[in-house]
Protein backbone atom coordinates (compact mmCIF):
# COMPACT_ATOMS: atom_id res chain seq x y z
CA UNK A 1 0.00 0.00 0.00
CA UNK A 2 1.03 3.59 -0.51
CA UNK A 3 2.36 5.70 2.32
CA UNK A 4 2.64 9.40 2.98
CA UNK A 5 5.39 10.56 5.27
CA UNK A 6 4.41 14.19 4.76
CA UNK A 7 0.85 13.82 5.99
CA UNK A 8 1.50 15.60 9.29
CA UNK A 9 -0.99 17.63 11.25
CA UNK A 10 -0.89 21.40 10.72
CA UNK A 11 0.56 21.88 14.19
CA UNK A 12 3.42 19.45 13.67
CA UNK A 13 4.09 20.83 10.21
CA UNK A 14 4.46 24.26 11.77
CA UNK A 15 6.72 22.92 14.50
CA UNK A 16 9.09 20.83 12.45
CA UNK A 17 8.82 21.35 8.71
CA UNK A 18 9.87 25.01 8.44
CA UNK A 19 10.98 25.87 11.93
CA UNK A 20 14.19 27.47 10.72
CA UNK A 21 12.92 29.59 7.84
CA UNK A 22 12.66 33.35 7.76
CA UNK A 23 10.88 34.86 10.82
CA UNK A 24 7.36 35.72 9.75
CA UNK A 25 3.88 36.29 11.17
CA UNK A 26 4.38 34.27 14.34
CA UNK A 27 7.31 36.29 15.66
CA UNK A 28 6.88 38.44 18.73
CA UNK A 29 8.07 42.03 18.76
CA UNK A 30 11.82 42.29 18.27
CA UNK A 31 13.55 45.63 18.56
CA UNK A 32 16.71 46.47 16.63
CA UNK A 33 19.62 46.50 19.02
CA UNK A 34 23.05 45.10 19.80
CA UNK A 35 23.28 41.41 20.67
CA UNK A 36 23.96 40.05 24.14
CA UNK A 37 27.62 39.19 24.63
CA UNK A 38 26.89 35.78 26.14
CA UNK A 39 26.70 32.74 23.84
CA UNK A 40 23.95 30.23 24.56
CA UNK A 41 22.95 26.71 23.56
CA UNK A 42 19.49 25.11 23.67
CA UNK A 43 18.48 21.49 23.20
CA UNK A 44 15.02 19.96 22.83
CA UNK A 45 13.76 16.39 22.66
CA UNK A 46 10.14 15.95 21.55
CA UNK A 47 7.86 12.94 21.42
CA UNK A 48 4.80 13.17 19.17
CA UNK A 49 2.13 10.45 19.14
CA UNK A 50 -0.99 10.44 16.98
CA UNK A 51 -4.01 8.63 18.39
CA UNK A 52 -4.91 5.28 16.89
CA UNK A 53 -7.54 5.67 14.15
CA UNK A 54 -10.93 4.91 15.68
CA UNK A 55 -12.62 1.69 14.59
CA UNK A 56 -15.75 3.63 13.59
CA UNK A 57 -13.71 5.51 10.93
CA UNK A 58 -11.55 2.56 9.82
CA UNK A 59 -12.18 0.61 6.61
CA UNK A 60 -10.27 -2.44 7.82
CA UNK A 61 -7.61 -1.92 5.13
CA UNK A 62 -4.15 -0.96 6.33
CA UNK A 63 -3.14 -0.29 9.93
CA UNK A 64 -4.90 1.81 12.58
CA UNK A 65 -1.65 2.86 14.30
CA UNK A 66 -0.67 6.31 13.11
CA UNK A 67 2.50 8.40 13.33
CA UNK A 68 5.02 8.15 16.13
CA UNK A 69 7.66 10.87 15.74
CA UNK A 70 10.75 11.68 17.81
CA UNK A 71 12.59 14.94 17.26
CA UNK A 72 15.89 16.24 18.61
CA UNK A 73 16.70 19.94 18.16
CA UNK A 74 19.81 21.98 18.98
CA UNK A 75 20.17 25.75 18.68
CA UNK A 76 23.37 27.73 19.25
CA UNK A 77 23.50 31.53 19.52
CA UNK A 78 26.98 33.04 19.27
CA UNK A 79 27.73 36.80 19.25
CA UNK A 80 30.65 37.19 16.83
CA UNK A 81 31.27 40.78 17.94
CA UNK A 82 29.32 43.77 19.23
CA UNK A 83 27.29 44.10 16.02
CA UNK A 84 26.98 40.58 14.58
CA UNK A 85 25.27 37.53 16.07
CA UNK A 86 25.15 34.02 14.56
CA UNK A 87 22.32 31.53 15.21
CA UNK A 88 22.65 27.91 14.06
CA UNK A 89 19.70 25.51 14.32
CA UNK A 90 19.54 21.80 13.60
CA UNK A 91 16.96 19.05 14.01
CA UNK A 92 16.90 15.30 13.50
CA UNK A 93 13.56 13.54 13.25
CA UNK A 94 12.55 9.89 13.02
CA UNK A 95 9.04 8.74 12.21
CA UNK A 96 7.18 5.46 11.91
CA UNK A 97 3.59 4.24 11.63
CA UNK A 98 0.76 4.43 9.12
CA UNK A 99 -0.93 7.35 7.36
CA UNK A 100 -4.26 7.95 5.58
CA UNK A 101 -4.22 6.66 1.99
CA UNK A 102 -7.71 7.39 0.63
CA UNK A 103 -11.34 7.63 1.76
CA UNK A 104 -14.09 5.34 0.47
CA UNK A 105 -17.84 5.01 1.17
CA UNK A 106 -19.02 2.15 3.34
CA UNK A 107 -22.22 0.14 2.80
CA UNK A 108 -24.27 3.04 4.21
CA UNK A 109 -22.54 5.63 2.03
CA UNK A 110 -20.58 7.11 4.93
CA UNK A 111 -16.85 7.82 4.53
CA UNK A 112 -14.31 5.41 5.99
CA UNK A 113 -10.54 5.72 5.98
CA UNK A 114 -8.23 3.37 4.12
CA UNK A 115 -4.78 3.46 5.75
CA UNK A 116 -1.32 2.54 4.57
CA UNK A 117 0.45 -0.36 6.26
CA UNK A 118 2.43 0.43 9.42
CA UNK A 119 5.61 0.32 7.35
CA UNK A 120 6.56 4.01 7.21
CA UNK A 121 10.07 4.34 8.61
CA UNK A 122 11.96 7.48 7.74
CA UNK A 123 14.20 10.19 9.11
CA UNK A 124 14.75 13.85 8.35
CA UNK A 125 17.58 16.26 9.04
CA UNK A 126 17.13 20.05 9.02
CA UNK A 127 19.81 22.70 9.50
CA UNK A 128 19.91 26.47 9.12
CA UNK A 129 22.04 29.47 9.95
CA UNK A 130 21.09 33.09 10.47
CA UNK A 131 23.09 36.25 11.00
CA UNK A 132 21.73 39.26 12.88
CA UNK A 133 23.70 42.33 11.78
CA UNK A 134 23.06 45.43 13.90
CA UNK A 135 23.58 48.79 12.21
CA UNK A 136 22.33 51.56 14.47
CA UNK A 137 18.56 51.49 14.31
CA UNK A 138 18.55 48.66 11.73
CA UNK A 139 18.87 44.92 12.15
CA UNK A 140 19.55 42.94 8.96
CA UNK A 141 19.06 39.16 9.21
CA UNK A 142 20.03 36.91 6.28
CA UNK A 143 19.36 33.17 6.66
CA UNK A 144 19.93 29.93 4.76
CA UNK A 145 19.11 26.28 5.39
CA UNK A 146 18.25 22.87 4.03
CA UNK A 147 16.09 19.85 4.84
CA UNK A 148 16.77 16.28 3.73
CA UNK A 149 14.96 12.94 3.95
CA UNK A 150 14.78 9.83 1.77
CA UNK A 151 12.24 11.12 -0.72
CA UNK A 152 12.21 14.86 -0.10
CA UNK A 153 14.77 17.64 0.03
CA UNK A 154 14.58 21.39 0.24
CA UNK A 155 16.89 24.38 0.37
CA UNK A 156 15.66 27.72 1.65
CA UNK A 157 16.88 31.16 2.56
CA UNK A 158 15.80 34.72 3.06
CA UNK A 159 16.49 38.07 4.59
CA UNK A 160 14.57 40.31 6.98
CA UNK A 161 15.11 43.89 8.07
CA UNK A 162 13.99 45.55 11.31
CA UNK A 163 13.95 49.33 11.78
CA UNK A 164 13.60 50.94 15.18
CA UNK A 165 11.98 54.37 14.97
CA UNK A 166 13.31 57.41 16.79
CA UNK A 167 10.94 57.01 19.72
CA UNK A 168 12.39 53.50 20.34
CA UNK A 169 8.89 52.18 21.01
CA UNK A 170 8.02 51.30 17.41
CA UNK A 171 9.70 48.63 15.31
CA UNK A 172 9.03 48.07 11.60
CA UNK A 173 9.88 44.68 10.06
CA UNK A 174 9.89 43.35 6.52
CA UNK A 175 11.38 40.33 4.83
CA UNK A 176 11.35 37.85 1.99
CA UNK A 177 12.23 34.16 1.83
CA UNK A 178 12.26 31.40 -0.77
CA UNK A 179 12.27 27.60 -0.71
CA UNK A 180 13.09 25.14 -3.50
CA UNK A 181 11.85 21.61 -2.89
CA UNK A 182 12.21 18.29 -4.69
CA UNK A 183 10.11 15.18 -4.08
CA UNK A 184 11.25 11.78 -5.35
CA UNK A 185 9.13 8.86 -4.05
CA UNK A 186 11.26 5.90 -3.04
CA UNK A 187 8.67 3.08 -2.93
CA UNK A 188 8.78 0.30 -5.51
CA UNK A 189 7.02 1.65 -8.69
CA UNK A 190 5.41 -1.77 -9.14
CA UNK A 191 3.34 -1.12 -6.01
CA UNK A 192 1.90 2.07 -7.48
CA UNK A 193 2.90 2.42 -11.17
CA UNK A 194 1.05 5.71 -11.65
CA UNK A 195 3.13 7.57 -9.10
CA UNK A 196 5.48 10.37 -10.18
CA UNK A 197 9.24 9.75 -10.42
CA UNK A 198 10.43 13.22 -9.45
CA UNK A 199 8.84 16.67 -9.20
CA UNK A 200 9.77 20.14 -7.96
CA UNK A 201 7.99 22.98 -6.22
CA UNK A 202 8.94 26.51 -5.17
CA UNK A 203 7.73 28.95 -2.56
CA UNK A 204 8.29 32.68 -2.13
CA UNK A 205 7.07 34.44 1.03
CA UNK A 206 7.14 38.09 1.98
CA UNK A 207 5.95 39.90 5.08
CA UNK A 208 5.68 43.36 6.60
CA UNK A 209 4.94 44.07 10.24
CA UNK A 210 4.88 46.68 12.94
CA UNK A 211 5.47 46.32 16.67
CA UNK A 212 4.43 48.97 19.16
CA UNK A 213 5.25 49.38 22.83
CA UNK A 214 2.09 50.94 24.24
CA UNK A 215 3.43 51.38 27.77
CA UNK A 216 5.69 49.54 30.21
CA UNK A 217 3.12 46.72 30.50
CA UNK A 218 1.74 46.38 26.97
CA UNK A 219 3.21 45.49 23.57
CA UNK A 220 1.28 44.83 20.33
CA UNK A 221 2.30 43.63 16.88
CA UNK A 222 0.57 43.20 13.53
CA UNK A 223 1.91 41.41 10.44
CA UNK A 224 0.79 40.85 6.85
CA UNK A 225 2.22 37.83 5.02
CA UNK A 226 1.92 36.78 1.37
CA UNK A 227 3.11 33.38 0.12
CA UNK A 228 3.06 31.91 -3.38
CA UNK A 229 3.64 28.22 -4.14
CA UNK A 230 4.16 26.80 -7.62
CA UNK A 231 5.05 23.44 -9.12
CA UNK A 232 3.99 20.02 -7.87
CA UNK A 233 1.58 20.67 -4.96
CA UNK A 234 -0.25 17.32 -5.00
CA UNK A 235 0.45 14.44 -2.61
CA UNK A 236 2.20 11.64 -4.53
CA UNK A 237 1.25 9.03 -1.91
CA UNK A 238 -2.51 9.63 -1.90
CA UNK A 239 -5.29 8.21 -4.04
CA UNK A 240 -8.92 9.33 -4.42
CA UNK A 241 -12.08 7.21 -4.57
CA UNK A 242 -14.29 8.14 -7.53
CA UNK A 243 -17.12 5.78 -8.51
CA UNK A 244 -17.34 7.40 -11.94
CA UNK A 245 -13.61 7.33 -12.70
CA UNK A 246 -11.62 4.63 -10.84
CA UNK A 247 -7.91 4.93 -10.16
CA UNK A 248 -7.74 8.71 -9.64
CA UNK A 249 -4.71 10.16 -7.87
CA UNK A 250 -4.61 13.16 -5.57
CA UNK A 251 -4.34 16.05 -8.04
CA UNK A 252 -4.23 19.72 -7.00
CA UNK A 253 -3.62 23.00 -8.85
CA UNK A 254 0.03 23.74 -9.56
CA UNK A 255 -0.03 27.13 -7.91
CA UNK A 256 -1.35 28.46 -4.62
CA UNK A 257 -1.33 31.95 -3.13
CA UNK A 258 -1.80 32.41 0.60
CA UNK A 259 -2.65 35.59 2.51
CA UNK A 260 -2.28 35.96 6.27
CA UNK A 261 -2.90 38.71 8.79
CA UNK A 262 -1.90 38.26 12.40
CA UNK A 263 -2.05 40.35 15.53
CA UNK A 264 -0.36 39.74 18.88
CA UNK A 265 -0.89 41.28 22.29
CA UNK A 266 1.51 40.90 25.22
CA UNK A 267 0.53 42.47 28.54
CA UNK A 268 1.99 42.29 32.01
CA UNK A 269 -0.76 41.92 34.61
CA UNK A 270 -0.03 43.40 38.01
CA UNK A 271 -3.08 41.61 39.40
CA UNK A 272 -1.89 38.12 38.43
CA UNK A 273 1.83 38.84 38.45
CA UNK A 274 2.05 37.20 35.02
CA UNK A 275 2.52 38.01 31.34
CA UNK A 276 -0.68 37.48 29.35
CA UNK A 277 -0.78 36.88 25.60
CA UNK A 278 -3.48 36.82 22.95
CA UNK A 279 -2.70 36.01 19.30
CA UNK A 280 -5.08 35.97 16.35
CA UNK A 281 -4.46 34.94 12.75
CA UNK A 282 -6.71 35.09 9.70
CA UNK A 283 -5.72 33.01 6.68
CA UNK A 284 -7.09 32.88 3.13
CA UNK A 285 -5.85 31.23 -0.07
CA UNK A 286 -6.99 30.94 -3.67
CA UNK A 287 -8.04 27.32 -3.10
CA UNK A 288 -10.82 29.03 -1.09
CA UNK A 289 -9.62 27.83 2.33
CA UNK A 290 -10.25 30.35 5.10
CA UNK A 291 -9.13 29.82 8.66
CA UNK A 292 -9.14 31.52 12.04
CA UNK A 293 -6.64 30.85 14.82
CA UNK A 294 -6.91 32.22 18.35
CA UNK A 295 -4.20 31.51 20.93
CA UNK A 296 -4.44 32.77 24.53
CA UNK A 297 -2.37 32.05 27.60
CA UNK A 298 -0.17 33.37 30.37
CA UNK A 299 3.37 32.98 31.71
CA UNK A 300 4.26 33.39 35.36
CA UNK A 301 7.72 33.53 36.94
CA UNK A 302 8.46 33.00 40.62
CA UNK A 303 11.29 34.41 42.72
CA UNK A 304 12.55 30.86 43.23
CA UNK A 305 13.38 30.56 39.52
CA UNK A 306 10.34 28.61 38.39
CA UNK A 307 8.11 29.57 35.48
CA UNK A 308 4.68 28.24 34.54
CA UNK A 309 3.03 28.69 31.16
CA UNK A 310 -0.52 27.73 30.22
CA UNK A 311 -2.18 28.33 26.87
CA UNK A 312 -5.03 27.23 24.64
CA UNK A 313 -5.37 27.45 20.87
CA UNK A 314 -8.56 27.30 18.80
CA UNK A 315 -8.50 26.67 15.05
CA UNK A 316 -11.21 26.47 12.38
CA UNK A 317 -11.02 26.22 8.59
CA UNK A 318 -13.23 25.83 5.53
CA UNK A 319 -12.57 23.33 2.75
CA UNK A 320 -10.71 23.68 -0.53
CA UNK A 321 -12.86 24.17 -3.62
CA UNK A 322 -12.02 20.76 -5.08
CA UNK A 323 -12.05 18.74 -1.84
CA UNK A 324 -14.54 15.90 -1.24
CA UNK A 325 -14.29 12.86 1.06
CA UNK A 326 -14.99 10.80 -2.07
CA UNK A 327 -16.35 11.59 -5.53
CA UNK A 328 -19.34 10.39 -7.53
CA UNK A 329 -18.63 12.29 -10.76
CA UNK A 330 -15.85 13.55 -13.00
CA UNK A 331 -14.70 17.10 -12.23
CA UNK A 332 -14.31 19.39 -15.23
CA UNK A 333 -11.09 20.89 -13.84
CA UNK A 334 -9.52 17.50 -13.06
CA UNK A 335 -8.67 18.40 -9.46
CA UNK A 336 -9.28 15.83 -6.71
CA UNK A 337 -8.21 15.50 -3.08
CA UNK A 338 -9.64 13.82 0.00
CA UNK A 339 -6.79 14.98 2.25
CA UNK A 340 -8.18 15.83 5.69
CA UNK A 341 -5.90 18.88 5.78
CA UNK A 342 -8.05 20.37 2.98
CA UNK A 343 -11.35 19.46 4.66
CA UNK A 344 -13.55 21.64 6.87
CA UNK A 345 -12.93 21.10 10.59
CA UNK A 346 -12.02 22.73 13.87
CA UNK A 347 -9.42 21.92 16.50
CA UNK A 348 -8.50 22.68 20.09
CA UNK A 349 -5.10 22.33 21.71
CA UNK A 350 -4.10 22.75 25.34
CA UNK A 351 -0.51 23.33 26.39
CA UNK A 352 1.35 23.55 29.69
CA UNK A 353 5.03 24.22 30.30
CA UNK A 354 7.06 24.18 33.51
CA UNK A 355 10.65 25.45 33.69
CA UNK A 356 13.24 26.03 36.39
CA UNK A 357 16.25 28.35 36.12
CA UNK A 358 19.30 27.72 38.28
CA UNK A 359 22.21 30.08 37.65
CA UNK A 360 22.96 29.76 33.92
CA UNK A 361 20.79 26.66 33.34
CA UNK A 362 17.11 26.41 32.45
CA UNK A 363 15.35 23.05 32.32
CA UNK A 364 11.81 22.80 30.93
CA UNK A 365 9.09 20.24 30.31
CA UNK A 366 6.00 20.90 28.20
CA UNK A 367 2.98 18.92 27.07
CA UNK A 368 0.31 19.56 24.46
CA UNK A 369 -2.95 17.79 23.70
CA UNK A 370 -4.54 18.42 20.27
CA UNK A 371 -8.03 17.27 19.25
CA UNK A 372 -9.88 17.93 15.99
CA UNK A 373 -13.54 17.41 15.12
CA UNK A 374 -16.19 18.77 12.77
CA UNK A 375 -18.18 20.05 15.76
CA UNK A 376 -15.37 22.52 16.57
CA UNK A 377 -15.70 24.23 13.20
CA UNK A 378 -17.18 27.71 12.98
CA UNK A 379 -19.28 26.54 10.03
CA UNK A 380 -21.67 23.62 9.84
CA UNK A 381 -19.92 20.50 8.50
CA UNK A 382 -22.22 17.83 7.06
CA UNK A 383 -19.61 15.11 6.49
CA UNK A 384 -16.51 14.83 8.63
CA UNK A 385 -13.30 13.52 7.11
CA UNK A 386 -12.50 10.22 8.88
CA UNK A 387 -8.76 10.94 8.78
CA UNK A 388 -8.78 13.89 11.20
CA UNK A 389 -5.93 13.58 13.68
CA UNK A 390 -5.65 13.86 17.47
CA UNK A 391 -2.21 13.84 19.05
CA UNK A 392 -0.13 14.31 22.19
CA UNK A 393 3.23 16.12 22.21
CA UNK A 394 5.81 16.11 25.01
CA UNK A 395 9.00 18.23 24.93
CA UNK A 396 11.97 18.28 27.29
CA UNK A 397 14.38 21.20 26.97
CA UNK A 398 17.70 22.40 28.39
CA UNK A 399 19.15 25.89 27.90
CA UNK A 400 22.58 27.11 28.97
CA UNK A 401 24.05 30.62 28.80
CA UNK A 402 27.83 31.08 28.91
CA UNK A 403 28.29 34.02 31.26
pLDDT tens digit sequence for 29-41: 344 555 667 899 9
Is residue 224 domain-resident? yes
pLDDT above 60 (res 26)? no
CATH code (residue 366): 2.40.160.40
DSSP 8-state assignment for residue 11: H
> Are 399 and 40 within 8 A, CB to CB?
yes
- Residue 371, class by beta-carbon neighbours within 10 Å (0-12 exposed, 13-18 middle, 19+ buried)? middle
Is residue 4 domain-resident? no
pLDDT band at residue 16 using 50, 70 and 90 as cut-offs: very low
pLDDT score, position 17: 33
pLDDT score, position 147: 96
Is residue 247 domain-resident? yes
Among 16-25, 126-135, 179-188, 260-269, the least confident range: 16-25
Which has the closest alpha carbon to 235: 43, 387, 132?
A: 387
Which neighbouring-strand residues pair with 293? Answer: 281, 315
pLDDT score, position 320: 97
Return the percentage of the chain with pLDDT > 90, whole number: 80
> Are 152 and 187 within 8 A, CB to CB?
no
pLDDT score, position 188: 58
Dihedral pair phi/psi, residue 12, rounded to 5°: -70, -35
Which neighbouring-strand residues pair with 152? Answer: 149, 183
pLDDT score, position 246: 87
**Residues 122, 96: Cα–Cα separation, whole Å:** 7
Q: For the chain, report the end-to-end CA distance as a whole number of angstroms.
A: 54
Which comes out higher in pLDDT, residue 38 or 76? 76
Query: In the Cβ-directed half-sphere of 121, how many Cα atoms lie within 13 Å?
Result: 2
pTM of the model: 0.89
Segment (H or E) for 358: strand 345-358
Report how far Cα 75 is from the mean position of its chain's Cα atoms: 18
**Residues 399, 361: Cα–Cα separation, whole Å:** 6
> Are 360 and 351 within 8 A, CB to CB?
no
Structural domains in the chain (count): 1
Q: How far is CA 282 from CA 36, 222, 262, 292, 317, in A?
A: 34, 12, 6, 5, 10
pLDDT score, position 175: 98
List the beta strands (DSSP E) in 116-185: 120-135, 138-149, 152-164, 170-183
Which neighbouring-strand residues pair with 89? Answer: 75, 128
> Are 131 and 142 within 8 A, CB to CB?
yes
pLDDT above 90 (res 402)? yes
pLDDT band at residue 191 using 50, 70 and 90 as cut-offs: low
Number of H helices, E strands in the chain: 1, 20
pLDDT above 70 (res 93)? yes
Query: How high does pLDDT run on average in the chain?
Result: 89
> Are 342 and 320 within 8 A, CB to CB?
yes
Per-residue pLDDT reduced to its tens digit, 366-398: 999 999 999 999 999 999 999 999 999 999 999
pLDDT band at residue 187 using 50, 70 and 90 as cut-offs: low
- Across 50-54, average pLDDT: 96
Is residue 227 domain-resident? yes
Per-residue pLDDT reduced to its tens digit, 324-351: 999 999 999 999 999 999 999 999 999 9
Among 12-16, 80-84, 200-204, the least confident range: 12-16
Is residue 1 domain-resident? no
Helix, strand and coil in the chain, % to nearest 5: 5, 60, 40
Is residue 253 domain-resident? yes
Report how far Cα 250 is from the mean position of its chain's Cα atoms: 22
- Across 167-174, average pLDDT: 92
Report how far Cα 337 is from the mean position of its chain's Cα atoms: 20
Among 33-47, 165-179, 295-309, the least confident range: 33-47
pLDDT score, position 283: 98
- CA dihedral (287, 292, 298, 299) in degrees, to 10, reads 10
Is residue 161 domain-resident? yes
Is residue 3 domain-resident? no
Domain membership of residue 201 as a residue range: 10-401
pLDDT score, position 18: 29
pLDDT score, position 185: 85
pLDDT above 80 (res 174)? yes
Amino acid sequence: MASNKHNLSPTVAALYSAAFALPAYNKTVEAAGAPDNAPSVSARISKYDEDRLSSSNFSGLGDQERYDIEVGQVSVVYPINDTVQLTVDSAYETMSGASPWFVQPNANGDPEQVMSGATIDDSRFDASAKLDIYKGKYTISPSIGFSKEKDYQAVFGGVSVARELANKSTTLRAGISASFDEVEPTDDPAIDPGRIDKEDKENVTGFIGIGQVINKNTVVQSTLTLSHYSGFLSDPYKLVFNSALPGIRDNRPDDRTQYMWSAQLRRWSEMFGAALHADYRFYYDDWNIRSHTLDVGFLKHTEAGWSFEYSMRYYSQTQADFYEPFYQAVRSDGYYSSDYRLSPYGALSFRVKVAETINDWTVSLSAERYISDKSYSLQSVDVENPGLVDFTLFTFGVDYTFN
